[in-house]
């Protein structure tokens, strides 16, 4: 599926995704009809290399597709983002393992890269690997994944990402939250799960088996852009909702609609400008770096700094815009019948992600000021 086609497909699914959003809030996981719809058009594996039958979408297109899904439901956008950015790791696995895990177009992967597991060297049926035990929080969408990842410190001195069949994973009912309820980001664990060496890779060490322009982007850079894209989609929905509401709502003791209020007009204009600018900044930085990658160049620390700055900025602006929309709507926004409450809660979850949290500005500021920073995972 081509770049423009996958964004159009995301927009075409909006009605279905919106129809199941309340179910996701209640179930605290993405409803199966939403999962299937996203999977069927490739929105759960956007970064799988074409070698393995994947869309191999460029980062700016990925941002726009995630944004479109998140406009319909933030949790659905979040799950699409996690699954798709995780799928970029297919390029770093041996071909046989990549085909096993990602060759089926219905296969979804997700998980957490944090090294919360420990791996002990062992072998099974003559195959060398690790017995891995660990527990990870924030397992977004893992209940609908066929393969689940987890980071582990292994006894050979390496940090590895390990792929587990979902059948070997235990899920823990921990996801009781204010926002992104439908993302199902619960804890999960494995106990003495055998992982062959061929189903592991070392971030920052393992070279890609399949070299593509996309592999020049560190996964965390793609992840940051994807998280920001969710925020942009949620904020766009919030602003669209209040603009629509403003056409007919007359606040108490007022003969004018919200749209006729000077205060509303100013606040909407300012929010619109900030949101469009933040979106353009993110797309521009990804576009600039993508041009470098297409030309066979290396995506530099300077390129990645620009992307990370744009992503962190977009996440913060998205939360601010959602705040404005919620406030302008008045009491209407308080009711569950209005999407604005969910938009507000979801937008603020985006700012809590480690890849877009405001505290990341400290690292970005150091880089801009020429201060040495470890950029291995940046």
Q: Both 33 and 119 in a single domain?
A: no
Query: Domain of 197?
Result: 109-201
* Domain closes at, from 201, 236, 254: 201
Residue 71 lies in a domain: yes
SS3 content of the chain, % helix, strand, coil (to 5): 55, 15, 30
Q: Both 188 and 52 in a single domain?
A: no
Quote the strand ranges of 21-169, DSSP E: 109-124, 127-139, 147-154, 159-165
Q: Both 363 and 249 in a single domain?
A: yes
Q: Both 149 and 266 in a single domain?
A: no
Q: Both 154 and 28 in a single domain?
A: no
DSSP state of 230: H
Phi, psi values for residue 262, rounded to 5°: -60, -40
Query: Average pLDDT of each block of 10 consecutive residues along the chain (378 residues)?
Result: 81 98 97 98 98 96 98 98 98 98 97 97 96 98 98 98 98 98 98 98 95 94 98 98 94 88 97 98 98 94 97 98 97 94 98 96 96 88
Residue 377 lies in a domain: no
* Domain closes at, from 92, 123, 138: 92
pTM for the complete prediction?
A: 0.96
Q: Both 23 and 159 in a single domain?
A: no
Measure the CA–CA gap between 284 and 306, rounded to whole angstroms: 9
Kindly report the CATH number assigned to the domain that includes residue 38: 1.10.540.10
Rounded to 10 degrees, what is the CA torsion of 139, 144, 145, 149? 10
Residue 223 lies in a domain: yes
Block residue for tokens 């997700």: 110
Q: Both 195 and 259 in a single domain?
A: no
**Total structural domains within the chain:** 3
Q: Both 88 and 26 in a single domain?
A: yes
Q: What is the pLDDT of residue 126?
A: 94
Residue 376 lies in a domain: no
Q: Both 123 and 241 in a single domain?
A: no
| Residue from 241, 187, 222 nearest 74 by CA | 241
Kindly report the CATH number assigned to the domain that includes residue 137: 2.40.110.10
């Amino acid at each position: 599926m081509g770049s423009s086609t996958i964004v159009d497909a995301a927009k075409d699914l909006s009605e279905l995704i919106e129809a199941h959003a309340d179910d996701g809030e209640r179930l605290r996981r993405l409803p199966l009809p939403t999962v299937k719809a996203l999977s069927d058009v490739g929105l759960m594996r956007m970064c799988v290399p074409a070698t393995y039958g994947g869309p191999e979408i460029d980062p700016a297109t990925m941002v726009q597709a995630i944004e479109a899904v998140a406009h319909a439901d933030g949790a659905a956008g979040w799950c699409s983002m996690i699954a798709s950015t995780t799928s970029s790791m297919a390029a770093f696995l041996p071909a046989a393992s990549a085909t096993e895990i990602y060759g089926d177009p219905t296969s979804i992967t997700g998980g957490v890269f944090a090294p919360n597991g420990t791996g002990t060297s062992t072998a099974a049926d003559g195959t060398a690997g690790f017995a891995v035990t660990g527990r990870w929080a924030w397992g977004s969408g893992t209940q609908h994944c066929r393969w689940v990842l987890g980071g582990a410190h292994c006894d050979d001195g390496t940090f590895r990402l390990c792929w587990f069949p979902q059948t070997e994973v235990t899920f823990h009912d921990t996801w009781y939250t204010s926002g992104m309820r439908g993302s199902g980001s619960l804890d999960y664990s494995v106990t003495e799960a055998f992982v062959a060496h061929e189903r592991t890779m070392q971030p920052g060490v393992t070279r890609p088996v399949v070299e593509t322009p996309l592999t020049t982007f560190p996964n965390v850079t793609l992840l940051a852009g994807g998280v920001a894209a969710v925020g942009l989609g949620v904020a766009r929905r919030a602003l669209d909702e209040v603009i629509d509401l403003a056409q007919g709502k007359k606040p108490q003791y007022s003969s004018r609609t919200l749209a006729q209020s000077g205060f509303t007009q100013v606040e909407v204009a300012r929010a619109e400008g900030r949101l469009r600018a933040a979106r353009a900044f993110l797309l521009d930085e990804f576009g600039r770096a993508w041009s470098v990658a297409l030309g066979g160049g290396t995506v530099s620390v300077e390129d990645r700094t620009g992307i990370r700055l744009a992503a962190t900025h977009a996440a913060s602006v998205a939360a601010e815009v959602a705040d404005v929309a919620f406030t302008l709507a008045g009491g209407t926004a308080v009711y569950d019948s209005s999407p604005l409450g969910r938009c507000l809660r979801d937008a603020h979850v985006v700012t809590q992600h480690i890849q877009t949290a405001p505290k990341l500005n400290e690292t970005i500021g150091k880089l801009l000021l020429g201060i040495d920073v470890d950029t291995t995972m940046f």
